[in-house]
Structure 1
Amino acid sequence: MASNFVNQLIDLIFSPYALLGIAIGLIVLEKARHSRHLAWLLFSFCCYAASLGKFQNEWIKEAPPLVFPLQQLRDMGRPLTIVILVLLLLLGMQTKNGWRRVVIPQPIYYLIIFQAAVFFKISFYGDIVFALLAAMTFGGVVLMFKLGPSCWLQDEYNFQLGIWSLAMSGVIFALACTYQGVFNMQAMTFSQGRFLGTTDNAQHAAVLLGCTIPCFMFLIEIHKKWDWVKVFWIAMLLLTAYFLLRTGSRTGAIMAITSVLLFYRNRGGALLRLGLLASVLLALLFAFINPEMLNNSAPISNRFLEGGNTREGVWTAMWNSFINNPLFGAPLYGNRLVFGENSWLAAGANTGLIGLIPLVVMGIGCLKMILKLHKLSKRNSSYFLHSSTVIAGLSCLFSGSFSEALLLGNLSFPVMALLLYLSLGKYLLDMDYRQQRQYFLWQTMQNQTDSAPLF
């Protein structure tokens, strides 16, 4: 596995596209130094590249090819993500510090401890080269956030750009899939008729789409004027909802519903209007879709309606592994850890209490941030949309973490989204603390002035 990745990276570097890519990368890097908009867009491409993957199982060894250039991008997804990550690191090293000195949220440190537990287990019992590559990759992601996106969050402009960048990763995914669908939709729905886009799994596509929904809602709500910009974001939200339905993922549906309910938790009227508008527009969208496509999606509709817990067997097996090996997790068979369909049970089964405890503490830290942001939104209405976006984003990821191991990756879209939502939340709390402190100092000075003697 590690040697395959190294070979892919070498092939990418010495491919005919390498010189052109390096030239474009250097130009983008230079432009991004003076344009924060372009810097955040580079982060969007990094998130999208992290989602690229090729479906493969015991029956399907080679997925149907995509059209140019999507096939080439998918084949080189992970090395391409590393290249963009390096560009972001170089850009971050040139970023000047702002008024926020501590930019990494505390929960991320506990996620680092969990990844350290994974690293040591693979190092001792598996492929040490793979363990080193995984550790360097995750370390690079955290360092990139520390020097780049988390450090860029110094004002309202960059906060909105941060949300815009995650939304743009969803836009890139949706437009790429639409482009592929014009030529051959079957290449993205060949596995049981479920939509997987340019990812390697329908669940991964659903998680990507679900994570971006809070950002789309923020951009729609923050833009008061009805113009092409607002219409664009509404169209992207509806396209995202359509692709999410085509995945047939109940996890994705739960994530989306959680996002919408928590974003509009105090605005029932707005929630009702959004629901009615989405229903009408989706009905019109389906009316213009090829009837054969609707017939092919019948099994997908049944997935949402059918009952039962399809993960019960996997969950039971992971729980038994944890009970039988509570300290260090189950013995490692193979070169790497394989996580089942639950972030928390998978952590316990594979790393025992050594990895599960820091992951749980990380989760508690995220819940504390959600509660603080909720109190902030009630105390200061001007931060309601901002807080609601982060609350919806974090809650969306946590609702999905119970049926997918989406918190345990080291270079994946969900992890990128988690780190960004945590960074956005920390910025809001830091900004609130700064304003309260300034108000306290101003009030103290006023009291001193009022009590000063006239002579």
Structure 2
Amino acid sequence: MGLAGLLGGLMLILQARHSDRLAWLLVSLCCFSASLGKFSDNFITEPPALVFPLQQLREAGRPLTVVLMGLIIIIALLRPVRSSRQHFIPRPIIFIGLVQLVIFLKTLLFGDILFAFLAGLTFIGVVLMVTMGPRRWLEEEQGFERATRAIVMVGIIFVLANSYQAFFDIYPITFHHGQLLGTTGNPQFAAILLAVTIPSLLFLVEQPNTGIKAKFFWLGVLAIVMLALVLTGSRTGWLMGGITFFLFYRSKFGHLLRLGMLVAIVFAIFFYLFGQNFSSFETTLASAANKLFYGTNSRQEIWSILWRNFLDHPLFGVPLRGDRLFGYGENSWLGAAAALGIMGLTPLLLFGVSSGSMILRLYRLSGQTRLLFLQSSTVIAGLTSLLIGSIFEPFLLGNVTFSLIALFLYLSLGQHILNAAHKNVATTQYVYGIPPTDGGAHSHSEQARSAPWKSRKTFRPHPRV
């Protein structure tokens, strides 16, 4: 098995060196493997087993993710660099790295030294994988579209894997109060995975060069993702999805209504064809709807405890209870305050500020062309929904999770758009002899509003004499 895995890895490296689609597919597989998990609580220590090979994949989730990250890094090193542009790490990722540094130091000083190094190296691997691979590949032709396809592919793999499991036995993926937890081991994690794919799906549906057949295909995928999101019974997931639709169609609610009608039609067709044949599916849907509309607030008490812990230990957070940090609760921000104190909360707040700054800059650029509006709206919706989700789940404090990798991918997409806009402004200044400004990003965006390249018409500047 080890030799077969080694040979398979070498073949993937050789093929992905020259295949953009295969390289992005590896990114999707890495994201999906990072989402694999097992449910456990005080009463259930071992969840029901999945069918082959899903059970084996779930057991090997973390090692498999590390292996795939290594393959992507190697492929990124071997692939020819097709752009001379410098690839800076987005600033929000740097601040998340500082939070991880505080976690590393606290675990190193007061907990398990080996675990501290393993967790730190794993996070460094995630950053290297995203910045050396997808971050560079965005500069290639159709890089943005392929990145969104890679994110959507994670949702498609999730739906296919859990449909395969449900065909044989739906209970192992819905045993927790009838909610869909799937291969993630948690209904909240499943909902976040599905919600994160929606911005990229909307981009693929709305982009100008999408054919009618492809548009209906992506609409069908969107409807299935929305159905799966309903089955999770997660209000967090629905909040993230609702924010995504609102931000993406913030200026064209007519399009949103038409899209809603099409998705409703797909829903109706699905229930007509399959709803009467799966009684367990109907039970799951009823349980999820009951949780969605009548569930109680289970986070208020936990958040109060986290806040009191921060007030009792404001500088470095609560002392470790064991060999590593636990008890982040269901909030990334309060979890950082309680576990890390001001030392960890400060860089996390800076991450939030820098992410908000990127969103505002993208919003200012979004009105220049239709394609730029779609690209900017994809990132704005993706980042905003993840920031909202971080209020209800502590994924900002993890080191290798799907939510964190997806966040880094959307940040890379946003940085790519801003860099491209900055380059276009610089080109316009060179062609027309416009003196550069010292006003930073805001001055560049103001200059871009009057630049000829923003026109909807094809513009070909005359060369300078």
TM-score surpassing 0.5?
Answer: yes
Amino acid at match of 1:190: F
Contact map agreement 2:152 2:197 (CA 8 A) in 1: yes
Partner of 2:14: 30
Question: Of 391, 410, 422, which residue of structure 2 is paired with 1:421?
Answer: 410
Partner of 1:46: 30
More divergent stretch after superposition (346-355 vs 378-387): 378-387
Partner of 1:79: 63
Partner of 1:234: 219
Once the two structures are superposed, what CA deviation does each residue of 1:375-421 show, in whole Å capped at 9, x if it has no partner?
Answer: 10113333011001000100110111111112111100000000000
Once the two structures are superposed, what CA deviation does each residue of 1:3-61 show, in whole Å capped at 9, x if it has no partner?
Answer: xxxxxxxxxxxxx3x32222111111111000111111111100000001111222222
TM-score by length of 2: 0.90
Once the two structures are superposed, what CA deviation does each residue of 1:196-238 show, in whole Å capped at 9, x if it has no partner?
Answer: 1111211111111111111111111126555443232222211
Q: Secondary structure at the match of 2:170?
A: helix
Q: Are residue 57 (structure 1) and residue 57 (structure 2) matched?
A: no
Q: Secondary structure at the match of 1:435?
A: helix
Contact map agreement 1:103 1:151 (CA 8 A) in 2: no
Q: Are residue 369 (structure 1) and residue 354 (structure 2) matched?
A: no
CA distance in 1, matches of 2:85, 2:269: 47
Partner of 1:359: 348
Partner of 1:390: 379
CA distance in 2, matches of 1:156, 1:415: 26
Amino acid at match of 2:364: K
Contact map agreement 1:248 1:301 (CA 8 A) in 2: yes
Q: Does the C-alpha gap of structure 1 residues 158 and 325 become closer, same or farther in structure 2, counting only changes over 3 Å? A: same
Contact map agreement 2:32 2:158 (CA 8 A) in 1: yes
TM-score by length of 1: 0.92
Partner of 1:277: 262
More divergent stretch after superposition (171-180 vs 280-289): 280-289
Q: Are residue 174 (structure 1) and residue 159 (structure 2) matched?
A: yes
Question: Of 293, 298, 305, which residue of structure 1 is paired with 2:286?
Answer: 298
Partner of 1:165: 150
Partner of 2:450: none
CA distance in 1, matches of 2:226, 2:339: 34
CA distance in 1, matches of 2:155, 2:295: 30
Contact map agreement 1:373 1:391 (CA 8 A) in 2: yes
The alignment of Structure 1 onto Structure 2 pairs a total of residues equal to 434
Q: CA deviation at 1:445?
A: 8.7
Contact map agreement 1:49 1:78 (CA 8 A) in 2: yes
Amino acid at match of 1:174: V
CA distance in 1, matches of 2:314, 2:80: 45
CA distance in 2, matches of 1:65, 1:436: 56
Q: CA deviation at 1:110?
A: 0.7
Partner of 1:411: 400
RMSD: 1.9
Q: CA deviation at 1:69?
A: 1.0
Q: Secondary structure at the match of 1:382?
A: helix
Q: Does the C-alpha gap of structure 1 residues 430 and 384 become closer, same or farther in structure 2, counting only changes over 3 Å? A: same
Partner of 2:206: 221
Once the two structures are superposed, what CA deviation does each residue of 1:136-185 show, in whole Å capped at 9, x if it has no partner?
Answer: 00011111122111111214511111111111111111111111111111
Q: Does the C-alpha gap of structure 1 residues 271 and 398 become closer, same or farther in structure 2, counting only changes over 3 Å? A: same
Give % identity: 43
Which segments of 5 or more consecutive residues in structure 1 lack a partner in the other structure? 1-15
CA distance in 2, matches of 1:426, 1:354: 27
Contact map agreement 1:110 1:359 (CA 8 A) in 2: yes
Q: Secondary structure at the match of 1:364?
A: helix
Which segments of 5 or more consecutive residues in structure 2 lack a partner in the other structure? 436-461
Q: CA deviation at 1:299?
A: 2.8
Q: Does the C-alpha gap of structure 1 residues 67 and 450 become closer, same or farther in structure 2, counting only changes over 3 Å? A: closer
CA distance in 2, matches of 1:85, 1:225: 31
CA distance in 2, matches of 1:393, 1:278: 20
Pairing 1:50-449 to 2, within 5 Å after superposition: 50-97=34-81, 98-222=83-207, 224-287=209-272, 288-289=274-275, 290-306=278-294, 308-338=296-326, 339-444=328-433
Contact map agreement 1:167 1:215 (CA 8 A) in 2: yes
